[in-house]
Chain A
């Protein structure tokens, strides 16, 4: 038996003991598992490696922290509640179009940033109260938001996992638009209709209207939505007219939006909402810090290589099963990590097939990683947005859509050359 398997088992056991038995936060459990893995492979406690690993997700942590602050600001300024109000009042009579509109609306930030978390925390959080008031159960709302955020992150024009996978084989990010639309749009609409439509056919609008909060639009006018408009314009501008818009980066855009919210609605204490945002994000920040360490140690002691080679070792038909299972599973550490560590070798293994279609489909599989605990970036934040504490309840609802998504991706890979002829 390879010693790497032993290291891997030790790391898993320590993690499970720490997280389930001692009920430590996931972040701390990952750190302990990393230390155990390094000790097992005779590397002592490699402080340099452990700390280096924490840098892997520094930029995503900044995005999450600032997005949380922005959402807090929108909620306190009154913009969030007012948007729910508008959606309900304008669209409650056409449930089919309501679902389509909401799907595209949630997906939008993901399409232009390539980030599922930013999506969940912006448009996801905006529609969540409305969907719940319209009668969709809270976990289903979380599932709709999480799935839409993942499809948004994979949909064109910006798909970071596809770029990472393409970059690994020096394939420029060109010609991905149609394949990525094909990979996401039918699924997004189908999944959301199947999850949400049945609740929306019998809306009791009288009852709902009594529950709607105060109408801040009447009080502040369009100004109320200025922070949101600024964020959207900046994000879009950088994509569409990069020569005129400075590339500010997502964290700065969210900070600008948050500061603008200070003067565009109800007054609030900026430090207080910022601290509350950090406090809410802390478990996920801890997970990202711990995951960086965990992968660094897995790479140092050879466990990562063992996992990759084992995934590739499966013969032809099983290779599809292995892809469909391993890529989302590895997404438990992060979708981007999965794209780089498994997506690239699998694309190489399928060289000769239409590479753009295969790359697009692989990126869709990596997207599912954002549902996979412990990180489950899309899922956990979606649960948080609807106020559901037990993420596993959300995961259960997303299970069938996720399987459908994986099958869709695998079918795309299987028929890559045929699809390539007309996409």
Chain B
């Protein structure tokens, strides 16, 4: 249970890094890649999937 919360925090941290990265990537396609890669992170973070 505690482990799950810790992993939620790790997910949150990496999600934030990815959001930040969407704005920092040099090419549009990499920006899009970062945005799409966020989907599973956010859905797991919200405990949906």
Contacts and interface: CB of A to CB of B under 8 A. Distances in A.
State if A and B touch, Cβ cutoff 8 Å: yes
Interface of A: 24-25, 27-28, 31, 51-52, 54-55, 58, 61-62, 65-66, 246-249, 251-252, 255, 274-275, 278-279, 282-283, 285-286, 289
Contacts of A27: 33, 36-37
B3 interface: yes
Given A58-B40, A66-B10, A255-B10, A278 B33 contact: no
A286 B37 contact: yes
Nearest to A57: B40
Interface in B14-37: 14, 17-18, 20-21, 24-25, 29-30, 32-34, 36-37
Contact of A51 (B13, B24, B39): B39
A282 B25 contact: yes
Contact of A249 (B7, B41, B44): B7
Contacts of A51: 39-40, 43, 49
Interface residues of B, number: 26
A25 B29 CA distance: 7
A25 B21 CA distance: 16
A52 B40 CA distance: 8
Interface of B: 3, 6-7, 10-11, 13-14, 17-18, 20-21, 24-25, 29-30, 32-34, 36-37, 39-41, 43-44, 49
A62 B17 contact: no
Contacts of A248: 3
Contacts of B29: 24-25, 28
Contact of A65 (B3, B14, B43): B14
A-side binding surface: helix, strand, loop or mixed?
helix
B7 A251 contact: yes
A282 B36 contact: no
Given A249-B7, A252-B10, A289-B40, 10 more contacts: A28-B32, A28-B33, A54-B39, A58-B40, A62-B14, A65-B14, A275-B17, A278-B14, A282-B21, A286-B37
B13 A283 contact: no
Contacts of A249: 3, 7
Contacts of A247: 3
22 contacts: A28-B33, A28-B36, A31-B36, A51-B49, A54-B37, A55-B40, A55-B43, A55-B49, A58-B40, A62-B10, A66-B10, A251-B10, A252-B3, A275-B17, A279-B24, A279-B25, A282-B21, A286-B30, A286-B34, A286-B36, A289-B33, A289-B40
Given A31-B36, A282-B34, A274 B43 contact: no
A27 B14 CA distance: 18
Contacts of B37: 27, 54, 61, 282, 285-286, 289
A144 B13 CA distance: 33
Contacts of A251: 7, 10
A279 B33 CA distance: 11
Contacts of A285: 33, 37
A286 B22 CA distance: 13
Contacts of B34: 282, 286
A252 B7 contact: yes
B8 to A, nearest CB: 12
A275 B20 contact: yes
Contact of A274 (B11, B13, B32): B13
Q: Which 9 A-B pairs have the closest CB atoms?
A: A286-B33, A54-B40, A278-B17, A27-B33, A285-B37, A289-B37, A58-B40, A55-B40, A25-B29
